[in-house]
């Protein structure tokens, strides 16, 4: 029973109380880069979930065999291998999105969330909790990406997932898309607003 509760917290803590982006402030740079539109943000979120979850499992399975002095190299190779596979899959099945995400899929390798979870969690825990931890952290990252992308695409382009949601009559009446929303700084400002709201609700994580 105690095991169950622990697994649950491993999976759900990173979604809010221990969110990698808004609490640990990791993985910010890709959050800025891919959130101008909702679709790439969702694909990027899913890719990171897949890569963190599977690299966590693989490292967790290998954790007792890895020589201590090359453990970082082993982690990097596993992550790099998985990222290349994800990139290949996207090129085969979602070519347009792969073109939009371009280098950022490759840069998942340098996402601090990954190495952080491998080093801090997968090296010390068995495969199943590691998998849940990976899914949880990946999802925590994905949620923030999607929230930011939602506001940026809605206010910046008047669309959601490429479909126009701001009615044409608004534009006729003089409404203009906010060009600033498309630029990277707005992602930081929205992330800041999310952190603000989040900390106001969760008073216990205020410094």
Q: How far is the CB of 193 from another protein (least distance, A)?
A: 23
The DSSP secondary-structure symbol of 160 reads E
Report the distance separating Cα 118 and Cα 78, nearest Å. Answer: 10
Angle at CA of residue 83, ends 81 and 41, nearest 5°: 170
For residues 21 and 191, the answer to whether their CB atoms sit within 8 Å is yes
Name which of 184 and 192 has its Cβ closer to another protein. Answer: 184
b/e burial code for range 162-201 (CB count within 10 A of at least 16 → b): eeeeeeeeeeeeeeeeeeebbeeebbeebbeebbeebeee
Using CB atoms within 10 A of its CB, is residue 100 exposed (0-12), middle (13-18) or buried (19+)?
Answer: middle
Q: How far is the CB of 92 from another protein (least distance, A)?
A: 4
Q: How far is the CB of 47 from another protein (least distance, A)?
A: 15
- Footprint of another protein (CB under 8 A): 65-70, 73-74, 77-78, 81, 84-85, 88-89, 91-93, 95-96, 99, 102-103, 183
Q: Residue 169 has which token pair?
A: 């009559």
Name which of 11 and 36 has its Cβ closer to another protein. Answer: 36
Name which of 86 and 145 has its Cβ closer to another protein. Answer: 86
Name which of 25 and 61 has its Cβ closer to another protein. Answer: 61
Q: How far is the CB of 126 from another protein (least distance, A)?
A: 19
Name which of 123 and 132 has its Cβ closer to another protein. Answer: 123
Query: How many residues are there in the chain?
Result: 207
Q: How far is the CB of 8 from another protein (least distance, A)?
A: 32
């Amino acid at each position: 029973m105690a095991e169950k509760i622990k697994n649950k917290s491993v999976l759900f803590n990173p979604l809010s109380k221990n969110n990698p982006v808004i609490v640990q402030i990791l993985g910010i740079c890709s959050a800025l880069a891919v959130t101008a539109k909702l679709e790439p943000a969702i694909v990027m979120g899913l890719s990171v979930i897949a890569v963190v979850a599977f690299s966590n499992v693989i490292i967790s399975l290998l954790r007792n065999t890895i020589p201590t002095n090359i453990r970082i190299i082993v982690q990097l190779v596993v992550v790099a291998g998985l990222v290349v596979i994800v990139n290949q899959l996207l090129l085969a099945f979602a070519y347009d999105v792969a073109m939009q995400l371009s280098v950022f899929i490759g840069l998942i390798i340098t996402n601090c969330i990954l190495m952080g979870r491998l080093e801090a969690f997968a090296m010390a825990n068995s495969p199943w909790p590691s998998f849940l931890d990976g899914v949880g952290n990946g999802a925590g990252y994905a949620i923030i990406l999607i929230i930011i992308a939602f506001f940026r695409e809605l206010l910046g382009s008047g669309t959601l997932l490429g479909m126009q949601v701001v009615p044409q009559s608004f534009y006729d009446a003089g409404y203009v898309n906010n060009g600033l929303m498309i630029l990277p700084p707005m992602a930081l400002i929205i992330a800041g607003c999310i952190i603000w709201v989040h900390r106001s609700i969760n008073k216990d994580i205020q410094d």
